Structure 1
Amino acid sequence: MTILLLGSGGREHAFAWKMLQSPLCSQLFVAPGNAGTEAIATNVNLNPTDFNAIKTFVLQEKVEMVVVGPEDPLVKGIFDFFQNDDSLKHIPVIGPSKMGAQLEGSKEFAKEFLVRHQIPTAAYDSFTKETVEQGCQFLETLQPPFVLKADGLAAGKGVLIIQDLAEAKEELRNMLINEKFGEASSKVVIEEFLDGIELSCFVLTDGKNYKILPTAKDYKRIGEGDTGLNTGGMGAVSPVPFADAVLLKKIETRIVKPTIEGLQKDGIPYKGFVFIGLINVKNEPIVIEYNVRMGDPETEVVIPRLKSDLVALFQAVANQTLDKTELEIDERSATTIMVVSGGYPEDYEKGKVISGIEKVTDSIVFHAGTKSENGQVLSNGGRVLAVTSYGDDYQQAIKKSYQNIDQLHFDKMYFRKDIGYDL
């Protein structure tokens, strides 16, 4: 089968790596891809949100399945674009409908969904430019720290957690009136802060049935000890050591099941991944957020732990036969450490020559922000490489990843040295 994978990050390289292990995949195109996907598949210079260009390519190359990596094309409605086009609707798109993608595209939509289906989540309210002063009053009713979330997509950077009430009010005005996150913060959700330890639950659903993938925990802050600015993620561990059978059962019965049933009750077509960001508060799982695709860098630890054929799973999603498939998981732990450009998540330079990838042994290097030029691999983003390793436990896996990072070099390269420290 000829497959088109949309995206260019570490998540997409991990997907490509896994999909190419399937006998069902005869040809894989990645749009636009990176230097890592170029080495194993065929990169195509297409923008994942240019649906007309994607249509032309899909028909020309006789593509039989489209797998969507990032959230943007989903929120913009690529699933519906294919469904509503007679020449495309026979081609399955792995990813939810535009309506389903609102679970990530709008924090307010997600909160309303959670409350409507009685899924545990933090108390909240949402505000616009016109109601900014009511928002400031609402902040006064909460205990610090205060959580402000841009309603729309802000590339994982639209959430602020602030200790001081005056600063929280100032930032609320900054987001709503001064458009700190542009269009994304034309509406802001304020919610109560939950004190606990975070984890991510990944679900693959065909709209009726679901499979729960391995749990993972990622590390969002740039600095060691979880300090500094939020990033797209600096590393991840799977499985989550504190997620025992009791907690996992609670997550399934109280959160996963009602989420999938809620999508059906609301008549929302959904064939793809649901990423549920959770916080474990005194052994009670509470939903922080939904994403409508796999997380990054969690994909780089979850996908390597799948023993099952990923393309066969995607086919089952397309045919709504996920209940008839077996999900086989590797018992080993997997960890990934992100190697990033100096200055990230603020200003950073691109185009740095990367050396040492070929010296890595016993780890997998997934490319996140790279490109190839004249036979060299260059940095091409904030997060550049993800070094993933297996181990009998997460400590052993982390050790391997760090040993292999020592082989890598590019100018101003940075990584956190404490991934997994809090477990």
Structure 2
Amino acid sequence: MNILVIGSGGREHAMAWKMSQSPRCSKLFVAPGNAGTAQLATNLPIGVEDFESIKKAVLEHNIELVVVGPEAPLVAGIRDFFEQDDQLKDIALIGPGKVGAQLEGSKDFSKTFMLRHRIPTADARTFDKQSLQEGLDYLQDMTLPVVLKADGLAAGKGVVICQTISDAEEMLKEMLVEEKFGEASQKVLVEQFLQGTELSVFVLTDGEHYVILPEAKDYKRIGEGDTGPNTGGMGAVSPVSIADRDFMEMVEERVVKRTIAGLQQDRIPFQGFLFIGLMKVKGEPYVIEYNVRMGDPETEAVLPRVETDLVELFMATAEGRLNEVALKTASFATATVVMAAGGYPEAYEKGSEIKGLPAGNARAEASASAHVFHAGTKEREGKVVSNGGRVLAVTGQGPTLKEALDNVYSQVAAISWEKSYYRRDIGQDVLV
């Protein structure tokens, strides 16, 4: 079948790479894609929220499966667009509708959902510009540190942890009054800080049945030792040693099942991914956030460990028969290191030539010791150049996490461009 992946990052490159291994994949297209996806698919110069151009491409290329990578088109209602169009309504699409996408698109919506369905999460209240004074008063009784979250989409950067009440007061004013994160911070959640170890659990669901993919741990801060501002993610590892059988059983019973049941009770159809950001607090799971797509760079660590045909998993999801497909997970470990442009997540330069990329890596076998997934790249005059803040997501694999880390850092060391940057401590905190 012909398949279209929507997106341009490392997540979409990893999805395209995995689906290209399926015998069910005839032709693969990525919109808009990057220099990496161009090596294994046909890139289409279409914006992820340009639904009319996406429709034209779907019909022109006889697309039978559409996989939506990033959150923006989901929150904007791409599924609703397909379902309301007679020419598109029968095409399989992975990703929820506009209402379901609010689990990520609105922190207030998702927090209310969690509380309504008894899903363990931190206490929080939501404030807007009109209720700023109430928010400032509420802060006075908070235990430090305090977490402030922009309600809307902020490219993974809308969460601020404040160590003092005065810092929290200033940040709340910046977010609400000065609109630090634009429309995303028109409303702000003031949330209890949870002390524990963070990890990510990924669920693929057809709205009734589900499979739990391999878990991962993401590293959000730009600096080593988890210091500095939040980014979209600087690395990930899978599996995670703290996610033992007892803990994952609690996650399934208290979080996954209650979330699926809650969607059904609220009559919210949902066919796609549920990313569940968790904190393990005194041995128990608490939900930090939902996303309605795979995380990035966690996707690059998780998908190499999925042995089941990804196209078959997606089609079973779209057709409501996910219970018929068994998920098989490889026993090896993976470690992903993001190579970023110097200056990221603030101002950074684009257009630097990337040297040392492995030849033909896009079509490498699943058993290769390292894979290079492109995130922010493009081709220019036959060369691959940087075209974003997070430029590459390099994934190593091995029998143990230590060997996976050795393999990924060996590959990273061979790649360079002017002012490139990466963290050298990914995975060190969970080595056993």
Same fold by TM-score, threshold 0.5 exceeded? Answer: yes
State the alpha-carbon separation in 1 of the partners of residues 369 and 344 from structure 2: 28
Counterpart residue number, 1:264: 264
Question: How far off is 1:392 after superposition?
Answer: 1.2
Supply the distance in 1 between the matched residues of 2:287 and 2:141 (Cα, whole angstroms): 21
| 1:328 aligned residue | 328
Q: Find the aligned partners of 1:340 and 1:143 in 2 and give their Cα distance.
A: 35
Quote the Cα distance in structure 1 between the aligned partners of 2:105 and 2:371: 32
Match of 1:422 in 2: 429
State the SS of the aligned residue for 1:357. coil
Match of 1:130 in 2: 130
Partner of 2:21: 21
Aligned to 1:34: 34
Structure 1 residue aligned with 2:389:
382
CA contact (8 A) 2:221 2:227 kept: yes
Q: Does 1:274 align with 2:281?
A: no
SS of residue paired to 2:36: helix
Match of 1:395 in 2: 402
- Equivalence map 1:350-369=2 (5 Å): 350-358=350-358, 362-369=369-376
1:24-78 deviation digits (Å, cap 9, x = unpaired): 1100110000000001100000011011111111112111111000000000000
Structure 2 SS opposite 1:268: coil
2:369, 2:315 → 1: CA distance?
A: 31
Alignment deviations for residues 116-163 of structure 1 (CA, whole Å, 9 cap, x no partner)? 100000001000000001001111111010100000000000000001
SS of structure 2 residue aligned to 1:99: coil
AA at the equivalent of 1:407: A
| Per-residue deviation, residues 265-303 of structure 1 (Å, max 9, x unmatched) | 111110000000000001100000000000000000100
Q: Quote the residue 2:155 is aligned against.
A: 155
Structure 1 residue aligned with 2:102: 102
Partner Cα distance (1:138, 1:84) in 2: 44
8 Å CA contact 2:369, 2:398 repeated in 1: no
Matches within 5 A, 1:85-124: 85-124=85-124
Structure 1 partner of 2:206: 206
Aligned partners of 2:139 and 2:18: how far apart in 1?
46
Aligned pairs for 1:288-327 within 5 A:
288-327=288-327
Aligned mates of 2:133, 2:402 — CA distance in 1: 48
2:34 and 2:251 mapped to 1: Cα distance? 35
- Whether contact under 8 Å (2:344, 2:389) holds in the other structure is yes
| Secondary structure of the corresponding residue to residue 100 of structure 1 | coil
User: For this pair of structures, how many residues does the alignment match?
Assistant: 423
What TM-score do you get using the length of structure 1 for normalisation?
0.99
Q: Which residue of 2 aligns with 1:222?
A: 222
Where 2:358 maps in the other structure, the secondary structure is helix
- Distance of 2:179 and 2:324 partners within structure 1: 48
Q: Which one-letter code corresponds to 1:82 in the other structure?
A: F
SS in 2 for 1:280: strand
Amino acid of the structure 2 residue aligned with 1:412: K
How far apart are residue 167 of structure 1 and its match? 1.1
Q: Contact between 2:18 and 2:303, CA under 8 Å: does it hold in 1?
A: yes
Give the AA of the match of 1:364: H
- 2:10–2:300: 8 Å Cα contact kept in structure 1? yes
1:283 aligns to 2:290 (yes or no) = no
Offset of residue 249 of structure 1: 0.3
Tell me the SS of whatever aligns to 2:166.
Answer: helix
Q: Structure 1 unaligned runs (5+)? A: none
3-state SS in 2 of match to 1:255: helix
Equivalent-residue separation in structure 2 for 1:382 and 1:369 (angstroms): 7
Quote the offset at 1:355 in angstroms.
0.7
Shift of 1:5: 0.5
Quote the Cα distance in structure 1 between the aligned partners of 2:37 and 2:233.
20
Shift of 1:391: 1.1
Contact between 2:122 and 2:287, CA under 8 Å: does it hold in 1? yes
Paired with 2:216 and 2:228, the residues of 1 have a C-alpha distance of: 22
Q: Please, which runs of 5 or more residues in structure 2 have no aligned partner?
A: 362-367
CA distance, structure 1, for counterparts of residue 407 and residue 63 of structure 2: 38
Is contact 2:278-2:287 (8 Å) kept? Answer: yes
CA contact (8 A) 2:3 2:25 kept: yes
Q: CA RMSD in A?
A: 0.9
How far did residue 100 of structure 1 move?
A: 0.3
Secondary structure, aligned partner of 1:6: strand
Letter matched to residue 409 of structure 1: S
What SS does structure 1 have at the residue aligned with 2:350? coil
Which SS does the other structure have where 1:422 is aligned? helix
Partner of 2:341 in structure 1? 341
Instruction: Please tell me whether the aligned partners of residues 205 and 211 of structure 2 are also in contact (alpha carbons under 8 angstroms).
Output: yes
Shift of 1:362: 2.9
Query: Identity of aligned pairs, percent?
Result: 58
